[in-house]
Amino acid sequence: MSEEREAPDREEDHLEEVVRNMCISKAEELNLLGYEQVTGEDVWACVSSKYKQDSFPPLHKLVNDILTLKAHIFMNWLMMRSLKE
């Protein structure tokens, strides 16, 4: 019975790790384009900033948003964030 309760947590942890690795991969892509200071956390902050705090989109949309993030979109977000601070 306890294994059934742990299974969703393990699945959530696995999905979180997959999303984290996708963000790191996108950051590495941006690094290759000359944006050397970008981290996976920066990519996640950029992508997740357009979602409401209390809800996230379906997983396929989240994956799409990470994988299709363009450098100019990221840089616009970064500039707006720095202006707000």
What pLDDT, on a 0 to 100 scale, did the predictor assign at position 2?
44
Domain-by-domain residue ranges, the chain? 2-84
Distance CA 37, CA 8 (A): 35
Q: Which helix (H) or strand (E) holds 11?
A: helix 2-32
The CB density around residue 85, as the number of other CB atoms within 10 Å, is 5
Task: Please write the tens of the pLDDT for every residue from 24-47.
Answer: 999 999 999 999 999 999 999 999
Written as tens digits, the pLDDT of the chain (85 aa) is 444 455 668 888 898 999 999 999 999 999 999 999 999 999 999 999 988 877 878 989 999 999 999 999 999 999 999 998 8
Q: pLDDT at position 12, please?
A: 84
pLDDT of res. 6 = 53
